[in-house]
């Protein structure tokens, strides 16, 4: 992936849903300001596309090199 400079919008919406792609690549599906919003959207994605792997991540835009922290889902309603 090509690193990009974080924008003001990216700093306002640090919660992302990413789709896992082949060869360790990822695609940002959408960004959210609040984690509950991201969790609700992830629930909808899992109902619509159960075979596709998605993860919620928190993007720390304050660090010099933008890093993502994987947030494991602990919701019982999501577990199958």
Does residue 79 register a pLDDT over 60?
no
Tokens representing 67? 């890093």
3-class secondary structure per residue, the chain:
CCCCCCCHHHHHCCEEEEEEECCCEEEEEEEECCHHHHHHHHHHHHHHCCCCCEEEEEEECCCCCCEEEECCCCCCCCCC
User: Tell me, what's the pLDDT at 53?
Assistant: 92
Q: For residue range 42-71, list pLDDT tens digits in order.
A: 999 999 999 999 999 988 765 434 455 555
Give percent of the chain with pLDDT exceeding 90: 49
Least confident span in 6-10, 24-28, 35-39 = 6-10
Least confident span in 20-24, 27-31, 50-54, 65-69 = 65-69
């Amino acid at each position: 992936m090509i690193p990009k400079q974080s924008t003001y919008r990216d700093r306002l919406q640090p919660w992302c849903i990413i789709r896992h792609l082949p060869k360790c690549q990822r695609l940002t599906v959408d960004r959210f300001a609040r984690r509950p919003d991201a969790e609700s959207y992830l629930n909808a994605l899992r109902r619509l596309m159960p075979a596709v792997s998605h993860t919620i991540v928190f993007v720390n835009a304050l660090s010099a090199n933008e890093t993502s922290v994987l947030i494991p889902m602990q919701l019982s309603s999501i577990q199958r």
